[in-house]
Amino acid sequence: MKTATRPTLADVIECARKAGETAMEYFRCSHEIGMHNKLNDSDIVTIADKQSETVIKSYIQTRYPDHAILSEESGETDGSAGYRWVIDPIDGTTNFFAGIPFWAISIGVEHNGQTEIGVVYLPATGELFHAIRGQGAFLNDIPIHTSPESHLSRCVISTGFPVDKDTNPDNNLDNLAVIMPLVRDIRRLGSAASDICYVAAGFLNGYWELNLHEWDVNAATLILEEAGGKCTRFREDRNISLVCGPQAIHDQLLSRLNPRPTTASGCRR
């Protein structure tokens, strides 16, 4: 068993691929995948999430036993080495459960609070994004860069909606109404990590969303930044609320997004 060492990119990729193999055993399969709700009908978890998490955590604990882990499904474990792995075993569980191939294994590795390695793997599409801080971003080992587009009217932008959208009127519809007329079109793809990586690769021109969590964005934001993009947390009251894109599009979106909570009866903050 290894003592505490700096994780290698090869290990993080291997870990993601192993988790992806496990998840694919359940994807579009006829056997029961054990879905149940967490907060409501919009917030679900499946046995595949749990099995993928088990594979990732077992891999880390075997090779890097004194590293901390933050995972969506089981919370945080302590470590003593200054490293923390931030994992989402399946980002886009609703897509996964529905048989839509846009979901990802997301693994970020922090050292002393700064993400140094990011891997986002889409097993159903065969796309693996990775970055090491200061060394650029890659899709299947080919360098990627954000789009050079600077005209918002020519952009395809993605967004998403918080899981409490049914009860909280602060649900991003105000921003959607502002941005929609200004762009070529808007997509709602359902996996924040994948959205951000698609912006990094220039497939999308920008992205924003409210009420995300560290495991959703930790790896992907490093990949975006290494691809030449920019991320800003434009709200402080809705967990992690991000706007992302190449500099020009990021700035135009940021100037138009509402930085304050919607004031309406029954709004929970």
Residue set of the binding site for Mg(2+): 72, 88, 90-91, 216
Tokens describing residue 150: 């600077």
Catalytic status, residue 43: no
Residue 136's φ and ψ, nearest 5 degrees, are: 85, 175
User: CB under 8 Å to 9, separation ≥6 — which residues?
Assistant: 117, 119, 130, 132
Q: Which of 216, 223, 226, 240 is catalytic?
A: 216
Catalytic status, residue 116: no
Catalytic status, residue 216: yes
| Bridge partners (DSSP) listed for residue 241 | 235
- Residues that constitute the known binding site: 72, 88, 90-91, 216
Tokens describing residue 246: 């190449």
Residue 191's φ and ψ, nearest 5 degrees, are: -145, 105
Q: Which of 72, 149, 195, 226 is catalytic?
A: 72
Q: Which of 22, 46, 93, 159 is catalytic?
A: 93
In the chain, DSSP finds a helix count (H) and a strand count (E) of 7, 15
Catalytic status, residue 91: yes
> CA dist 193 to 50, 79, 89, 118, 121, Å?
18, 25, 11, 11, 9
- Counting Cβ atoms within 10 Å, is residue 122 exposed (0-12), middle (13-18) or buried (19+)? buried
Catalytic status, residue 144: no
Which residue spans within the chain are E strands per DSSP? Answer: 36-37, 44-45, 68-71, 75-77, 83-91, 104-111, 114-122, 127-132, 137-139, 142-143, 156-159, 185-187, 206-212, 230-235, 240-245
Tokens describing residue 7: 């994780």
Residue 90's φ and ψ, nearest 5 degrees, are: -145, 110
Residue 74 CA to residue 93 CA, distance in Å, equals: 16
Q: Which of 91, 116, 195, 214 is catalytic?
A: 91
Q: Which residues are catalytic?
A: 72, 88, 90-91, 93, 216
